[in-house]
């Protein structure tokens, strides 16, 4: 193992048997930390580039073990019911260690490149018909050096690589990573501008510029388009996607991803307050609408998949 | 398929489901009326014949007193008489039943589960079997004492085979009588049946339909579970001849096979599988994939049968098309075909010393137990061993074990002595059967070398005689050993004695320990070194326990590690175990990870199950994987194909892909602790169901209502 591969990164999940993050059967490595704040984010635990504590109230049995190990008084038992005061938490995470049900759970784990690769390689046999590793986030370029080392290491092992990125990164870093990346899963969240800034935390101009530069450099691209009710589920956005896609030289396909509410309980369990919710949301009707009304607005020469 | 054919199959399925087998749970063993006749004849003939001849005559009496059953729309005919007994008959039945004890209860051993040589039946017909019987009987020099027993055996065969032919002709008569009163299409169908029943199974079948009829008709009157072997090997010539002569279309063949698949719904208790196997490799190692292979697989979708099953022996050269068909059928909730790994099974059988010429022609007989076709008397799941109970005993005996190694040795000794002790029971049962006989002579007629040797299966006439002990609670024990290793020997948190006390109280007052074991300790199914290693070690211990033991008929023991439904029954009477399992909770199913412990996804679960050599377990290994249909369909079909191919390449024995139904999802919402392995597809990605919010769970439940 080379010295380089001992570079450490902050990982919040390694999901084996991923079927939707690129071709074939894949292992997706999620890196923690993101410069954006998409309101609908389905991985809110990915935002901060440091350890965080989940509290899944649903699985708490009220055993009180956490109270016993907490020196700062962040955990309290109130007539048999556990309460957490996050302001007092000093981040020692002893509570998560003793919690028998993992109701208290640390998200984020410091892992070396070789450590991540050990897990990725476990499933090497399953990658043979085009699968491989996908590095996602957060925004993986927040840990650009680690990302590049990881990709390099995978390529050395003969493994197909994808990077899922929002594009909110330094283009220089992207061009370096490109050398070891078979496909970029590149987000197209909204049309750049004021509204983009309101919902995502950046106006999106650089992100889309980066996409074009990356494309011109010869990188293969799958456009990933999350569709959020009331935000970008309109004709204008789909025409924008269509035009953007047509302007690319190395586009493989477009993945349209219908909104789902998986981020909400996670945001709640992290103690976040301003949670984005869609009222009266019906996933099935929404998906049907995307399929029947919106996707047809994308030029029919382009390959579109609704995930 | 034509609408009329679809309608026929639909209405037959609906009709069979209203029958007594479904509504009253009639046993798959000899239905009551037939059993009554058997006992009448058995006692009536008491003073006239030897014990075995009494049995054969009773068999013949049953066949001769069966009222032919021909139901509307059937293309394949032949069913037992399931009419209820009158009060008087029931009284007679109860009286007679008191005297019928075939084998002493204490030495019970599993019956039937053999794959008969139906290829031979198709080749020579019952008439051919009879000729062989007569020829061999007539050649015997009865002045030689050893030939007396052979002669008796041949007489039994003759008596039974002749009765079977008589029954067949009564079916032809009945069809003609019914045709008299029918008109149009119905009349024609009945006359076709009459013509067919003039012919088979007495004579070798001339058409694909006659082929199916011959094997069904022979099988249905055996009153227990016998398996069809490799239909795509012995029916392909008949099918090709039909097509060449323009007698049937491919669609007709699928319809016929669907009708054939449905028949066991009408005479076997629900959810007991009656399999035929397709695919695999021939004697030269070449993959067998022909039209009949595809037809049998395609028929599954139309028949949607719970008992009649097709299993697929998967090879590397098998087409993606066929495998995708198999995956699709599982995805839409047919729960079949099960996928067997031909390479691993052939290698496994050869490892036991079987020549390749026999090893390539095997069949699963019931669940996943493997037996060579047409030359094997077998006792599957004989007995069921409860590994979890042995572990609990090991804890009692191992209170003072200083190291984990010491503890394991104590466990292994108990395992070994238990295997040996129960083998003696099994051998007594085999001895008793050799004396009294058990299976009817028709079973021996289609099992080599019974006719050649003049010896029934029960007397040791078969070439192979596996006894397959089966081990329950495999994964519970792996996880329990891991827990003992970590908590007692690594961390020193607790002693074995303290652990025993906690288990005796079923973790009362120690729920947090139980949850910690479940949530924080390593488990089989998550692809970790400790548990993978322990699984291998446990499988080695089972194997070494079987080694050196022999059966009454001189075979070695062939272990298996699947569980049918027995993990629930055995779990019910097993106390709490160190893996966090509560008392009375079902044991782990087959050799799959403990329910709810495969939290790292299906590849990790699969790699755990592959951490030990499946070739040593021809008694059968069942690996179940649960997916919602959408994980297997559309774009994912290709990925599932790769998943299956990889499992096979890595040496997996058998894989059952289960489409999760709505009830399971609802149960998972209510009891998340039992379903943490349940992977579902959310828009654009897969997730563990139990980790989703209530709203998301509801959405997925609603969605699955529509896709299944």
Residues B47, B51, B52, B53, Cα dihedral to 10°: 0
What is the secondary structure of B191-227 as a DSSP string? HHHHHHHHHTTTSPP-SHHHHHHHHHHHHHTT-S-EE
CB–CB contact A258 B683 (8 Å):
yes
Residues 6+ apart with CB under 8 A from B615: B344, B347, B348, B351, B651, B653
Q: Are A242 and A297 in contact (CB under 8 A)?
A: yes
Q: Are B242 and B292 in contact (CB under 8 A)?
A: no
Q: B679 touching A, CB under 8 A?
A: yes
Single out the residue of B269, B307, B274, B261 nearest to residue B20, CA to CA.
Answer: B269
Q: Check residue B606 and give its pLDDT.
A: 92
Residue B30 pLDDT exceeds 80: no
Residue B38 pLDDT exceeds 50: yes
For residue A106, the surrounding DSSP H or E stretch is strand A104-107
Give the count of Cβ contacts less than 8 A between chain A and B. 101
Residue B470 pLDDT exceeds 90: yes
Confidence of residue A5 (pLDDT cuts 50, 70, 90): low
Percent of chain B surpassing pLDDT 70: 94
CB–CB contact A262 B687 (8 Å):
yes
Count of residues in chain B: 708
Confidence of residue B28 (pLDDT cuts 50, 70, 90): low
Confidence of residue B144 (pLDDT cuts 50, 70, 90): very high
Q: Check residue B103 and give its pLDDT.
A: 42
Residue B26 pLDDT exceeds 70: no
Tokens of B3: 């609408």
What is the secondary structure of B326-380 as a DSSP string? HHHHHHTT----EEEEHHHHHHHHHHTT--HHHHTSEEE-SSS-EEETTSB--BT
Q: Compute φ and ψ for A27, nearest 5 degrees.
A: -110, 125
Q: Report the residue from B512, B638, B685 with minimal CB separation from A65.
A: B512
Cα of B208 vs its chain's centroid, Å: 25
Higher pLDDT, B43 or A137: A137
Q: Least CA distance to A14: which residue of chain B?
A: B600
Best probe of the A interface among B683, B701, B705, by most A CBs < 10 A, is B683
Question: What's the CA gap between B221 and B229, in Å, rounded?
Answer: 17
Question: What's the CA gap between A124 and B163, in Å, rounded?
Answer: 60
- Interstrand relation of B370-372 and B362-364 (parallel, antiparallel or unpaired): antiparallel
CB–CB contact A16 B512 (8 Å):
no
User: Which residues from chain A sit within 8 angstroms of residue B693, using beta carbons?
Assistant: 261-262, 264-265
Q: Check residue B690 and give its pLDDT.
A: 79
Confidence of residue B23 (pLDDT cuts 50, 70, 90): low
Tokens of B174: 């009945």
Residue B31 pLDDT exceeds 60: yes
Q: Are A156 and A167 in contact (CB under 8 A)?
A: no
User: Which residues from chain A sit within 8 angstroms of residue B515, using beta carbons?
Assistant: 61, 100-101
Quick one: how many helices (H) and strands (E) in chain A? 10, 13
CB–CB contact A21 B681 (8 Å):
no
Q: Report the residue from B512, B600, B645 with minimal CB separation from A16.
A: B600
Question: What's the CA gap between B468 and B466, in Å, rounded?
Answer: 6
Q: What is the pLDDT of residues B562-618, one digit of tens each?
A: 888 788 889 999 999 999 999 999 899 888 899 888 888 889 999 999 999 999 999
For residue A88, the 8-state DSSP code is G
Query: Partners of B467 in the beta sheet?
Result: B379, B557
Question: What's the CA gap between B469 and B555, in Å, rounded?
Answer: 13
Q: Least CA distance to A227: which residue of chain B?
A: B683
How close B700 gets to chain A, by Cα (Å)? 10
CB–CB contact A15 B601 (8 Å):
yes
Percent of chain B surpassing pLDDT 90: 72
Q: What is the CA radius of gyration of chain B?
A: 26
Q: Least CA distance to A282: which residue of chain B?
A: B699
Best probe of the A interface among B597, B639, B671, B696, by most A CBs < 10 A, is B639
Mark which residues 687-706 of B lie under 8 Å from A by CB: 687, 692-693, 695-696, 699, 702-703
- Report CA-CA distances (Å) from A163 to A160, A241, A266, B554: 11, 20, 24, 61
For residue A289, the 8-state DSSP code is H
CB–CB contact A122 B646 (8 Å):
no
Please classify residue B283 by burial: count the beta carbons closer than 10 Å to its beta carbon, then call 0-12 exposed, 13-18 middle and 19+ buried: exposed
pTM for the model stands at: 0.92
Q: Compute φ and ψ for A108, nearest 5 degrees.
A: 110, 130
Question: What's the CA gap between B306 and B269, in Å, rounded?
Answer: 10
Residue A53 pLDDT exceeds 60: yes
How close A16 gets to chain B, by Cα (Å)? 6
- Report CA-CA distances (Å) from B345 to A205, A277, B28, B285, B507: 60, 54, 29, 13, 41
Quick one: how many helices (H) and strands (E) in chain B? 29, 13
CB–CB contact B686 A20 (8 Å):
yes
Q: What is the CA radius of gyration of chain A?
A: 21
Q: Report the residue from A20, A102, A125 with minimal CB separation from B685.
A: A20
Domains, in order of start, for chain A: 3-49+108-306 (3.20.20.70), 52-107 (3.30.70.20)
* Angle of the A205-216 helix axis to the A171-178 helix axis, nearest 10: 30
Q: Check residue B27 and give its pLDDT.
A: 56
Q: What is the pLDDT of residues B370-410, one digit of tens each?
A: 999 999 999 998 899 999 999 999 999 999 999 999 999 99
Q: Check residue B418 and give its pLDDT.
A: 97
Best probe of the B interface among A15, A19, A42, A264, by most B CBs < 10 A, is A19
Q: Check residue B706 and give its pLDDT.
A: 39
CB–CB contact A284 B602 (8 Å):
no
Confidence of residue B704 (pLDDT cuts 50, 70, 90): low
For residue A291, the 8-state DSSP code is I
CB–CB contact A257 B636 (8 Å):
no
CB–CB contact A100 B520 (8 Å):
yes
Residues 6+ apart with CB under 8 A from B234: B118, B119, B122, B123, B211
Domains, in order of start, for chain B: 3-372 (3.20.70.20), 376-466+475-618 (no CATH), 660-708 (no CATH)
Please classify residue A176 by burial: count the beta carbons closer than 10 Å to its beta carbon, then call 0-12 exposed, 13-18 middle and 19+ buried: middle
User: Which residues from chain B sit within 8 angstroms of residue A264, using beta carbons?
Assistant: 693
CB–CB contact B604 A16 (8 Å):
yes
How close B64 gets to chain A, by Cα (Å)? 58
Q: Report the residue from A122, A128, A129 with minimal CB separation from B607.
A: A122
Residue B157 pLDDT exceeds 50: yes
Q: Report the residue from A16, A100, A128 with minimal CB separation from B515.
A: A100
CB–CB contact A307 B683 (8 Å):
yes
H helices of A135-204, in order, are 144-156, 171-178, 194-200
Confidence of residue A262 (pLDDT cuts 50, 70, 90): confident
Residue A150 pLDDT exceeds 90: yes
Q: What is the pLDDT of residues B254-282, one digit of tens each?
A: 999 999 999 998 888 776 789 999 999 99
How much is the average pLDDT of B11-30?
73
Residue B106 pLDDT exceeds 70: no
Tokens of A78: 């109130």
User: Which residues from chain B sit within 8 angstroms of residue A63, using beta carbons?
Assistant: 511-512
What ipTM does the predicted assembly reach?
0.91
Q: Least CA distance to B639: which residue of chain A?
A: A24
For residue B641, the surrounding DSSP H or E stretch is helix B636-649
CB–CB contact B686 A19 (8 Å):
yes
Q: What is the pLDDT of residues B476-511, one digit of tens each?
A: 999 999 999 999 999 999 999 999 999 999 999 999
What is the secondary structure of A120-136 as a DSSP string? HHHTGGGGTTT-EEEEE
What is the secondary structure of B237-269 as a DSSP string? HHHHHHHHHTS--HHHHHHHHHHHHHGGGGTS-
- Interstrand relation of A160-165 and A183-187 (parallel, antiparallel or unpaired): parallel
Interface list for chain A against chain B, based on CB atoms closer than 8 Å: 15-21, 24-25, 61, 63, 65, 100-102, 122-123, 125-126, 128-129, 131, 255, 257-262, 264-265, 283-284, 287, 305, 307
CB–CB contact B642 A25 (8 Å):
yes
Question: What's the CA gap between B373 and B116, in Å, rounded?
Answer: 6
Q: Are A51 and A106 in contact (CB under 8 A)?
A: yes
User: Which residues from chain A sit within 8 angstroms of residue B685, using beta carbons?
Assistant: 18-21, 307
What is the secondary structure of B482-503 as a DSSP string? HHHIIIIIIS--S-HHHHHHHH
For residue B32, the surrounding DSSP H or E stretch is helix B32-44
Is residue A268 helix, strand or coil? helix
CB–CB contact A17 B603 (8 Å):
yes
Neighbours of B98 (CB within 10 A): 8
Mean of per-residue pLDDT scores for chain B: 91
Question: What's the CA gap between B497 and B499, in Å, rounded?
Answer: 5
Q: Compute φ and ψ for A53, nearest 5 degrees.
A: -115, 120
Percent of chain A surpassing pLDDT 90: 87
Mean of per-residue pLDDT scores for chain A: 94
Question: What's the CA gap between B446 and B461, in Å, rounded?
Answer: 11
Cβ burial B634-650 (10 Å sphere, 16+ → b, else e): eebbbbbbbbbbbbbeb
Q: What is the pLDDT of residues A176-213, one digit of tens each?
A: 999 999 999 999 999 999 999 999 999 999 999 999 99
Q: Least CA distance to B602: which residue of chain A?
A: A17
CB–CB contact A123 B607 (8 Å):
yes
């Amino acid at each position: 193992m080379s010295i380089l591969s001992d570079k450490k990164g902050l990982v919040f999940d390694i999901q084996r048997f991923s079927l939707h993050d690129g071709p074939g059967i894949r292992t997706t490595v999620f890196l923690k930390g993101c410069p954006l704040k998409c309101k609908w984010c389905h991985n809110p635990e990915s935002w901060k580039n440091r350890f965080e504590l989940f509290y899944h109230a649903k699985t708490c049995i009220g055993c009180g073990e956490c109270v016993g190990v907490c020196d700062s008084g962040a955990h309290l038992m109130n007539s048999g019911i556990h309460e957490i005061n996050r302001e007092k938490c000093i981040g020692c995470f002893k509570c998560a260690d003793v919690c028998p049900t993992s109701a208290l759970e640390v998200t984020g784990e410091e892992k070396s490149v070789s450590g991540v690769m050990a897990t990725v390689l476990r499933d090497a046999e399953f990658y043979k018909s085009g699968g491989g590793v996908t590095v996602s986030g957060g925004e993986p370029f927040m840990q650009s050096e680690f990302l590049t080392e990881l990709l390099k290491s995978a390529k050395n092992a003969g493994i197909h690589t994808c990077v899922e990125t929002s594009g909110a990164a330094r283009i220089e870093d992207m061009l370096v990573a490109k050398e070891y990346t078979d496909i970029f899963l590149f987000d197209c969240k909204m049309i750049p501008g004021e509204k983009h800034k309101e919902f995502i935390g950046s106006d999106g101009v650089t992100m889309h510029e980066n996409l074009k530069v990356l494309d011109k450099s010869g990188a293969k691209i799958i456009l990933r388009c999350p569709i959020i009710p009331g935000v970008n589920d309109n004709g204008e956005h789909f025409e924008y996607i269509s035009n953007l896609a047509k302007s690319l030289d190395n586009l493989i396909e477009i993945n349209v991803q219908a909104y789902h509410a998986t981020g909400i309980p996670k945001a709640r369990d992290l103690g976040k307050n301003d949670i984005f919710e869609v009222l009266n949301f019906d996933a099935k009707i929404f998906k049907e609408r995307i399929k029947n009304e919106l996707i047809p607005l994308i030029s029919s020469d382009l390959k579109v998949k609704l995930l | 398929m034509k609408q009329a054919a679809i309608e026929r199959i639909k209405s037959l399925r609906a009709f069979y489901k209203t029958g007594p087998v479904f509504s009253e749970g009639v046993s798959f063993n000899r239905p009551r009326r037939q059993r009554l006749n058997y006992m009448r004849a058995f006692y009536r003939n008491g003073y006239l014949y030897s014990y075995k001849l009494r049995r054969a005559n009773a068999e013949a009496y049953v066949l001769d007193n069966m009222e032919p059953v021909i139901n509307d729309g059937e293309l394949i005919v032949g069913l037992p008489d399931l009419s209820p007994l009158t009060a008087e008959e029931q009284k007679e039945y109860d009286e007679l039943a008191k005297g019928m004890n075939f084998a002493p209860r204490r030495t019970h051993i599993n019956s039937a589960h053999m794959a008969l040589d139906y290829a031979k039946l198709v080749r020579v017909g019952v008439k051919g079997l009879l000729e062989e019987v007569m020829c061999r009987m007539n050649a015997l020099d009865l002045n030689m004492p050893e030939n007396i027993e052979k002669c008796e055996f041949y007489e039994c065969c003759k008596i039974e085979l002749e009765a079977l032919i008589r029954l067949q002709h009564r079916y032809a008569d009945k069809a003609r009588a019914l045709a008299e009163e029918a008109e149009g299409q119905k009349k024609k169908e009945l006359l076709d049946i009459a013509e067919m029943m003039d012919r088979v199974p007495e004579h070798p079948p001339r058409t694909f339909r006659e082929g199916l009829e011959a094997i069904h008709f022979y099988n249905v009157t055996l009153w227990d579970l016998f398996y069809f072997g490799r239909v795509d090997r012995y029916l392909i010539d008949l099918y090709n001849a039909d097509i060449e002569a323009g007698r049937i279309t491919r669609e007709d063949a699928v319809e016929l096979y669907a009708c054939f698949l449905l028949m066991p719904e009408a005479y076997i208790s629900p959810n007991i599988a009656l399999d035929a196997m397709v695919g695999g490799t021939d004697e030269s190692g070449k993959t067998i994939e022909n039209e009949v292979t595809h037809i049998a697989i395609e028929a599954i979708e139309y028949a949607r049968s719970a008992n009649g099953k097709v299993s697929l022996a998967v090879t590397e050269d098998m087409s993606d098309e066929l495998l995708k068909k198999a995956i699709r059928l599982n995805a839409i909730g047919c729960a079949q075909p099960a996928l067997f790994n031909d390479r691993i099974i052939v290698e496994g059988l050869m490892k036991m010393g079987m020549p390749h010429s026999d090893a390539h022609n095997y069949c699963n007989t019931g669940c996943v137990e493997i037996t060579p076709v047409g030359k094997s008397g077998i006792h599957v799941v004989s007995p069921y061993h409860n590994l979890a109970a042995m572990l609990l005993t090991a804890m009692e005996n191992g209170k003072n074990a200083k190291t984990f190694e010491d503890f394991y040795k104590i466990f292994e000794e108990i395992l070994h002595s238990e295997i040996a002790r129960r083998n003696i029971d099994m051998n007594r049962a085999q001895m008793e059967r050799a004396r009294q006989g058990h299976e009817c002579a028709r079973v021996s007629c289609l099992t080599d070398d019974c006719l050649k040797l003049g010896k029934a299966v029960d007397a040791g006439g078969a070439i192979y005689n596996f006894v397959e002990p089966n081990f329950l609670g495999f994964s519970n024990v792996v996880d329990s050993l891991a827990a003992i290793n970590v908590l007692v020997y690594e961390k020193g948190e607790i002693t074995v004695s303290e652990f025993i006390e906690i288990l005796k109280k079923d973790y009362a007052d120690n729920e947090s320990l139980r949850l910690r074991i479940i949530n924080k300790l390593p488990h089989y199914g998550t692809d970790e070194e400790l548990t993978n290693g322990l699984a291998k070690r446990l499988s080695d211990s089972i194997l070494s326990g079987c080694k050196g033991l022999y059966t009454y008929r001189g075979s070695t023991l062939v272990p298996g590690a699947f569980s049918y439904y027995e993990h629930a029954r055995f779990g019910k009477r097993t106390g709490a175990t160190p893996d966090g399992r509560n008392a009375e909770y079902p044991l782990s199913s087959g050799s799959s990870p403990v329910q709810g412990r495969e939290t790292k996804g299906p590849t990790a679960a699969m790699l755990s199950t592959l951490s030990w050599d499946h070739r040593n377990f021809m008694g059968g290994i069942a690996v179940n994987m649960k997916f919602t249909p959408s994980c297997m369909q559309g774009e994912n079909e290709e990925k599932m194909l790769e998943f299956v191919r990889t499992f096979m390449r890595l040496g997996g024995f058998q894989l059952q892909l289960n489409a999760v139904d709505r009830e399971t999802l609802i149960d998972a919402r209510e009891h998340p602790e039992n379903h943490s392995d349940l992977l579902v597809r959310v828009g654009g990605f897969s997730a563990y169901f139990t980790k989703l919010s209530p709203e998301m769970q509801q959405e997925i439940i609603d969605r699955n209502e529509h896709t299944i």
